Each structure stands twice: as C-alpha cells, then as structure tokens.
Structure 1
Amino acid sequence: MLESTTTAAAALPTATPDEFRTTMSGFPTGVCVVTSVDGAGAPRGMTCSSLCSVSLDPPTLLVCLRSGGNTLAALLERGGFTVNLLHEEAQGAAQLFASGYPHRFDLIPWEQDADALGPHLVRHAHTSVDCTVALTQPVGDHVTVFGRVHRIVQRRSPSPLLYGLRRFRTWSSS
C-alpha cells in the first residue's frame, strides 16, 4: 500500500472513493484490454483505462490492474501480457471485458501466435503491444505493472475508443 511518510500528510483528510472516481471520470482516457494466459493455458483479460508510457529506452509502459483478479494472477504467473488498444468500434468488447462474464473469450475473435505474450483481440484492437513484466508495485486495491515492450502489432489506423464522464466516446477530427 502506498503510504505518505510526511507528518503534514498524516493530518490531511483523504478523499472518498466516490469523490475520487467522479473526479477522475472528468479526465478522459483511451481504453485497452490487458490479456494473458494462465498456467492451464486459459486466456484471461480485463478492460483497463489505467495505461501510460513510462520510458522510450527501453520501451516501457505501465498498467494498473485490480488486486486479486485472474488477469493479474495470469500475467504474473506467465511473466508477460498484451495490451490491446481498442478502436472506436470496440465498445462492446470493452464492456464485455469489464463484466464478470467468465467466458468472454468465447464471444470475440482472438489469436495468439508463438510470439504473442497474451491473446490479441484481432477485430477490436487497432494495435496490440506484447510486454514482459519488468516490475510490479502494489498500491491500494490495485497493482501497478511495468511492462517492457517487445513487439507492437498494428492492424489498422488508430482511431481510439475513449472513456470519460462514465461514457464511451470516439475521437473527433473537429
């Protein structure tokens, strides 16, 4: 858990989870699905909007995943994962992977070739980014996973799916 070490911070009140969720919903972000494969070979995945680039040399990104989830467990066990950047027509996939439905991979096309570190969502991702786990850091009810980028597969021109104010949106050219 992330803790402040200053005395001044200890005296400050903490925002409630609802206040924080509402505030952060006003900061739109791209939507991705993080995927991996568990020890039994079953695909795992979850919708994620906590993604950012960290370093160009070496290419590194980070994702924040819910502690205790099967996607996090699978990628830690495998030591690798794929970040599928969703395109503007992939709202259904984002909602599916945000749901608790256990057989989500039965409902959409995906593939995993020998070089992939997690399933690629071939019709819903404009780009898939294969990463190995470089570092993890538990923070509150999530784990920040730093991924070293090994391969990028672009399928179509990026027109990203966005999420903000608790709604999906698409990029506007105006």
Structure 2
Amino acid sequence: MNLSDTITPTRFRALMAGFPSGVAVLTAADTTSGRPWGMTCSAVCAVSLTPPTLLVCVRVGSPTLDTMLRAGLFAVNLLHDGARATAELFASGAPHRFDQVRWEQGRGRGGPHLVDDAHTVADCVISGHQVVGSHTVVFGEVYGVRQHRVPRPLLYGLRRYAVWPHDGEEVPPGHTVT
C-alpha cells in the first residue's frame, strides 16, 4: 500500500487547519549584501532543552530558506496578537516587506528582529537540516532570546488568525520584558 496515495494535499491541509499554532516570522540576512529576508511560518516546534533547539519547516526553493542555509543563522520572531498585518505581509511574498515594518539587525543576531511586531525573538545557529518532501526541516540551536513585551501570541488555525484570551497583565515567572 502506498500511504501517500490515501491522503491528498487538500485533506492533509484540512487536518492541520484543526491544529492551531503560534505565528512567527523567520528572518535571515544575506552574508554578502546584508539584505534581509523573511517569511511567515507557523511550523515551529521545540525539540530539546539541552541544547535548546527549535525546528522550523520551510518550503524548498524559498529565498528565505536559501539565505538561512547560506548564513547558517536565523531568527524566529514570535508575533504578538497585534501583528496580524505583519504576518499577512510576510506571507504575501511582497518584495519590499522590510520597508513596511520596523526591524533591527545587530551584531550577534541570527536575523533581523521585528521589534514592533514580535513579543519575543530567538536567535538560532543551524545545527542541521533535512529535506522532507516539499519542505526542509531546519534545526536551530537557540543562542539568544530577547523579549520585547509580555507574550500575547498571535495564533493561526482553521485558516484564520486568532488571539489568546487576556486574563491578566502579569509577566509569567521566568520571563523578563526588555
């Protein structure tokens, strides 16, 4: 039995639409020109606490993926609940998306930080990658975390954006706002 024949891409998308996730923008900078690249991504997952490692899944052929792999570094900008427009912008493929948001690229960062739109940014060094069908799974060892505000994540599921309910203004234990 060929398992891939039983589930169509449409059915698989419907399955995953019922599993909401947070929304991130992956960013990287071209090592030669310094040009920033970025894309919206909801396929982000913690892999290990020691070493602290994330995985992200990026479409094969994506210029952001190519830049990440060449640079060996990337940033995961976890978007806050007011950043839907930025999520849509970076999902659109618009060529000048970095002209429409405020971002910072500093020494030691994995990629540009979207300072107005991300509640937290993780800087990662690529520790491995594997092509799986139409996507590449990229493993990033987290070497820096910068929190810009209290985490109130933007969510995506059922083919629409949503926000986490607010029931307090306290910063969770172990978190700091910089």
Give me the TM-score of the superposition, normalised by structure 1.
0.92
Instruction: State the match for 2:23 in structure 1.
Output: 31
Paired residue secondary structure (1:24): helix
Amino acid at match of 1:162: L
Q: Which runs of 5+ in 2 are unaligned?
A: 168-178
Query: For 1:145 and 1:156, how far apart are their aligned partners in 2?
Result: 27
**Any residues of structure 2 matched to 1:78-117 within 5 Å, and which?**
78-117=71-110
CA offsets 1:70-122 (integer angstroms, 9 cap, x no match): 10000100000000000000000000000021000000000011111100000
Query: For 2:51 and 2:60, how far apart are their aligned partners in 1?
Result: 26
| Alpha-carbon distance, 1:12 to partner | 7.1
Instruction: State the match for 1:3 in structure 2.
Output: none
Show structure 1 runs of 4+ deviating over 3 A.
9-13
Instruction: State the match for 1:20 in structure 2.
Output: 12
2:150 corresponds to which of 145, 157, 160: 157
Q: RMSD of aligned C-alpha atoms?
A: 1.2
1:148 corresponds to which of 123, 133, 141: 141
Query: For 1:44 and 1:17, how far apart are their aligned partners in 2?
Result: 27
Q: Which runs of 5+ in 1 are unaligned?
A: 1-8
Query: For 1:148 and 1:108, how far apart are their aligned partners in 2?
Result: 26
State percent identity of aligned pairs.
54
Aligned residue-pair number: 166
Distance 1:51 1:12, change over 3 A: closer
| Alpha-carbon distance, 1:63 to partner | 0.2
Query: For 2:3 and 2:147, how far apart are their aligned partners in 1?
Result: 48
Distance 1:130 1:12, change over 3 A: closer
Give me the TM-score of the superposition, normalised by structure 2.
0.90
Paired residue secondary structure (1:123): coil
